[in-house]
Amino acid sequence: MDKKKVLFNSDTNILGGVPDYASMIQYAIASLDKTKETDFSFRTENAGKRFIAAINRCILSFKNKEHKMIVFDALSTDELRIDQKLIVIFWQMIINNDLFAKISENYYMKSVYAGRLSLHPEEIMSYFYELRNEYPGELTWSEATLKLTASKYLTILKKLGLAEGSQTKEIKYPNIGDELFVIMVKLALSVYPNEPTENNPLFLYSFSDTASLINRLKSIKFTPYWTLTQLGNNIKIVLNNI
């Protein structure tokens, strides 16, 4: 009998324990570039296997060749700082991990758009109970594991440069510069090609409200990268071949 597929896995816990995200990016680059050696050391062999498996699922998984090339180019270029590359990692984890995406959509981004200053693990715990009701049979973990997951989620945000502090985390609002904005739009259209509008799911994580996003998409500086047309009440984004 086939084992029931689990929608929400424990990769958030595992990636929260990765000690060095800069080294993780170097591992990701080497994994995508077959001419380089991959080397990512951990305290124990078992820990290393768990970390590598989670990284492969959450960061080194791609919907298509275009998606893979966009991520590789972003992580390997010298034109992006490490803090900017960590935002790309954030988007990859959104795309590839359902639990991380759910918490980010319904807790973290709602807090960001509400202008909140702090994040609390107890609030994430409360959201887990909502998810249990919404998805019966999921998150049937112990209270201790749920609590750890809430804590590790906030730890990931801290390591990604999106929060700071110890138990209670203070929100750090990132600057999505022009280079990152172009990467995000390309990612959004490669991963969700059927949503070439301002309603593309990845745009929720742009740290811009819809009106600001549309105004930025219309900026003349981005005309080399995409063309905008009207699609009913929405705008349609078409990438240029450059």
Please check whether residues 125 and 49 belong to one and the same domain.
Answer: yes
Using CA atoms, how far residue 148 sits from 92, 122, 154, in Å, is 22, 11, 10
Q: 0.85 cut: is pTM over it?
A: yes
Please check whether residues 106 and 209 belong to one and the same domain.
Answer: no
Please check whether residues 121 and 234 belong to one and the same domain.
Answer: no
What is the pLDDT, as a whole number, of residue 69?
Answer: 96
Residue 44 has pLDDT above 50, yes or no: no
Could you tell me the sign of the dihedral formed by the alpha carbons of 219, 238, 236, 230, in that order? positive
Residue 10's pLDDT band (cuts 50, 70, 90): very high
Please check whether residues 134 and 211 belong to one and the same domain.
Answer: no
Compute and round to an integer the Cα radius of gyration of the chain.
18
Which residue from 55, 91, 83 is spatially nearest to 187, judged by alpha carbons? Answer: 91
Residue 42 has pLDDT above 70, yes or no: no
What is the pLDDT, as a whole number, of residue 33?
Answer: 82
Please check whether residues 149 and 222 belong to one and the same domain.
Answer: no
CA distance 151 to 148: 5
Instruction: Give residues with Cβ within 8 angstroms of 84, minimum separation 6.
Output: 177, 179, 180
- Structural domain includes residue 182: no
Instruction: Name the residue range of residue 43's domain.
Output: 11-171
Instruction: Give residues with Cβ within 8 angstroms of 43, minimum separation 6.
Output: none
Please check whether residues 31 and 98 belong to one and the same domain.
Answer: yes
Please check whether residues 63 and 143 belong to one and the same domain.
Answer: yes
Read off the pLDDT of residues 174-207 as tens digits, 9 standing for 90 and up.
999 999 999 999 999 999 999 999 999 999 999 9
- Structural domain includes residue 35: yes
CA distance 157 to 8: 18
Please check whether residues 207 and 132 belong to one and the same domain.
Answer: no
Amino acid at position 26, single letter: Q
CA distance 47 to 29: 21
**CATH, residue 138:** 1.10.3540
Q: How many CA atoms lie within 13 A of 209 on its CB side?
A: 7
Please check whether residues 88 and 164 belong to one and the same domain.
Answer: yes
Please check whether residues 110 and 81 belong to one and the same domain.
Answer: yes
* Number of structural domains found in the chain: 2
What is the pLDDT, as a whole number, of residue 160?
Answer: 97
Please check whether residues 85 and 32 belong to one and the same domain.
Answer: yes
Please check whether residues 162 and 214 belong to one and the same domain.
Answer: no
